């Protein structure tokens, strides 16, 4: 059996980093970890190939080679997924679909032969047995959420590592909190399940042996959801990193209550975590209550500063469009982002995702507009009737983006962020080498010579050189990512 694993294309989003990747000669931010894990669940005797449309095009020869085409998608990839299915069916191929979009969509799915709802650790082996007997069903629904102890190591070797800016591993699924707008808790549950320490160390070993060095993204939606297990894992990761010369710069997502646990922060720093994404959403207390964001309590600004003081750059998500948002919510968001020195702030319009508690409430209230969410909350579209005038909401959102990603504003936050993280920050030695002369030249040419905002770049670079000479590689990375966000902001202001 020949299986083609296809990852559909992502549009321009916060996480795509499409405009920043060329600076380091990469094509995509992260590999498709879900498909690499699916590959490991298939029989050893089956042949498999991976085509990531974010790295290269899907050719007719790719499709013709395969007996079956496996594809997965997040909501934001739905249009590309439909095109993959259409092309595969036109060539007479059996098509198998799974993933978050397939699991949660309320609309008709593409015309696939087999559909997997939920996590595939138990259902995919059942499908393989059914296929061998000629009794494969169209739909497979996971009866329960599987323990991650049965999750095999992803087939990292299928990915063309040199094309990606970072590698990915997963430690846990699920989150203990109940944010109204979140679909993660609907897909993966509110009881976080984790892999064993041995599983994680084996995955670190595998990536190391494949030659990977640099950023490693632990993709959990809340890495600290199961604090008991995380506390046991972190010393093992720290020991592994020290023994191997700290080859990985770790990045993850966590809830903001991380700031309340200094022992956990200390352990994360020792393990080599240099960046963490948190969901702040809004400084408006009434809107946090509305969203059931109970973990964001107290002085949010102090919480961000506490995390930064442990050498971790804070990235964060922000949302406008809550029912309780006051008219000055846009200025309050800008002010918070500025004071918190969060360089990479993902600000989006609230969208109701299918099957979330928000979706169900708005449906009861008759406020849904009959349109599915795009999965990309950084575009100027709304799929429900907002309390605030929609035109004012969109204008306010655009004002936030234009302000926080104006070059002078952004570069100042980068400098402030490096100052806040500098006391405990220690980059792996290889990281500066990887940045190298090639990246340096690309950044200088693009941002320092040809860009219309080159004066702001040189002002920033001079300050970084004076105040943070040991972190020039980090400065250049953030300058490149800032360019990505400026391009997104320009596009949104025109939409």
**pLDDT tens per residue across span 380-398:** 789 999 999 999 999 999 9
Q: Considering the domain boundaries, does residue 148 fall inside one?
A: no
Task: Provide the whole-model pTM.
Answer: 0.94
Residue the block writes with tokens 């083609």: 4
- Final residue belonging to a domain, choices 374, 404, 434: 404
Residue 48 bridge partners (DSSP): 3
Q: Please list, residue by residue across 366-398, b when 16 or more beta carbons sit within 10 angstroms of its beta carbon and e when fewer do.
A: eebeeebbbbbbbbbebbbebebeeeebbebbb
114 and 198 in a single domain? The answer is: no
Domain boundary among 97, 126, 141: 141
The CA-CA-CA angle for residues 18, 22, 27, to 5°, reads 65
Asked if the model's pLDDT at residue 370 lies above 80, the reply is no
| Same-domain status, 190 and 334 | yes
Q: Between 407-421 and 390-404, two packed helices, what is the crossing angle to 10 degrees?
A: 60
Q: Read off the pLDDT band of 369 (50, 70, 90).
A: very high
Q: What is the mean pLDDT of the chain?
A: 94
Q: So what's the pLDDT on residue 425?
A: 54
Pairing of strands 172-173, 167-169: unpaired
- Is there a single domain that holds both residue 348 and residue 478? no
Task: Indicate if 247 and 285 belong to the same structural domain.
Answer: yes
Q: Is there a single domain that holds both residue 380 and residue 445?
A: no
Are both 130 and 26 inside the same structural domain? yes
* CATH classification at residue 285: 3.20.20.70
Task: Note the pLDDT of residue 426.
Answer: 55
What number is the average pLDDT over the span 52-75? 97
Task: Give a yes or no: residue 160 inside a domain.
Answer: no
pLDDT of residue 433: 45
Same domain, 372 and 459: no
Mean pLDDT is lowest, of 144-158, 245-259, 429-443, for: 429-443
> Would you say residue 412 lies in a domain?
no
Report the number of distinct structural domains present in the chain.
3
pLDDT exceeds cutoff 70 at 118 = yes
pLDDT-based confidence at residue 494 (cuts at 50, 70, 90): low
CA distances from 343 to 405, 443, 460, 474 (A): 9, 18, 13, 12
118 and 170, same domain (yes or no): no
Q: What is the pLDDT of residue 429?
A: 45
Q: Is the pLDDT of residue 170 over 70?
A: yes
- Residue 310 Cα to chain centre, angstroms: 22
E strands of 285-357, at which residues? 313-320, 345-349
CATH number for the domain harbouring residue 115: 3.40.50.280
Say which residue the tokens 């894990």 belong to.
Answer: 37
Q: Are residues 390 and 470 in the same domain?
A: no
pLDDT digits (tens, 9 = 90+) for 444-482: 999 999 999 999 999 999 999 999 999 998 999 999 999
Its domain, for residue 430, covers 421-494
Verify that 223 and 358 share a domain, yes or no: yes
């Amino acid at each position: 059996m020949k299986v083609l694993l296809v990852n559909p294309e992502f549009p321009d989003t916060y996480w795509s980093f499409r405009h920043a990747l060329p600076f380091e000669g990469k094509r995509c931010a992260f590999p498709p970890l879900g498909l690499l894990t699916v590959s490991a669940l298939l029989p050893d005797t089956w042949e498999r190939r991976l085509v990531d449309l974010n790295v290269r095009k899907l050719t007719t020869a790719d499709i013709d080679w395969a007996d079956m085409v496996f594809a997965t998608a997040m909501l934001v990839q739905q249009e590309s997924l439909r095109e993959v299915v259409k092309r595969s069916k036109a060539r007479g191929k059996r098509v198998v679909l799974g993933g978050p979009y397939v699991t949660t969509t309320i609309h008709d799915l593409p015309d696939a032969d087999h559909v997997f709802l939920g996590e595939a650790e138990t259902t995919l082996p059942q499908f393989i047995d059914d296929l061998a007997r000629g009794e494969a069903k169209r739909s497979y629904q996971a009866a329960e959420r599987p323990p991650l102890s049965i999750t095999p190591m992803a087939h990292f070797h299928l990915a063309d590592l040199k094309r990606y800016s970072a590698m990915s591993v997963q430690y846990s699924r699920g989150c203990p909190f109940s944010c109204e707008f979140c679909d993660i808790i609907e897909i993966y549950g509110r009881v976080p399940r984790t892999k064993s320490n041995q599983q994680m160390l084996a995955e670190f070993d595998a990536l190391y042996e494949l030659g990977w060095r640099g950023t490693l993204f632990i993709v959990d939606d809340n890495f600290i959801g199961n604090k008991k297990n995380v506390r046991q894992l972190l010393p093992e990761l720290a020991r592994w990193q020290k023994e191997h010369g700290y080859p990985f710069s770790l990045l993850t997502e966590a809830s903001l209550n991380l700031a309340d646990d200094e022992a956990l922060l200390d352990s994360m720093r020792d393990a080599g975590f240099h960046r963490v994404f948190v969901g702040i959403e809004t400084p408006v207390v009434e809107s946090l209550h509305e969203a059931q964001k109970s973990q964001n309590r107290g002085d949010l600004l102090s919480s961000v500063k506490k995390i930064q003081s442990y050498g971790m750059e804070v990235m964060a998500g922000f949302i406008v469009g809550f029912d309780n948002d006051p008219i000055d919510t846009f200025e309050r968001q800008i002010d918070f982002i500025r004071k918190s020195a969060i360089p990479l702030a993902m600000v989006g319009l609230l969208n109701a995702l299918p099957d979330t508690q928000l979706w169900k409430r708005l449906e009861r209230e008759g406020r849904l507009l009959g349109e599915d969410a795009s999965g990309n909350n950084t575009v100027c579209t709304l799929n429900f009737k907002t309390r605030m005038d929609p035109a004012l909401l969109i204008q306010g959102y655009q004002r936030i983006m234009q302000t926080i990603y104006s070059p002078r504003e952004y570069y100042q936050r980068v400098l402030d962020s490096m100052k806040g993280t500098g006391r405990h920050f220690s980059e792996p030695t290889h990281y500066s080498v990887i940045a190298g002369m090639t990246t340096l030249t690309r950044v200088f040419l693009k941002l320092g010579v040809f860009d219309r905002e080159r004066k702001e770049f040189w002002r920033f670079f001079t300050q970084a050189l004076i105040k943070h000479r040991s972190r020039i590689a980090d400065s250049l990375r953030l300058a490149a990512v800032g360019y990505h966000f400026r391009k997104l902001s320009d596009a949104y202001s025109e939409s």
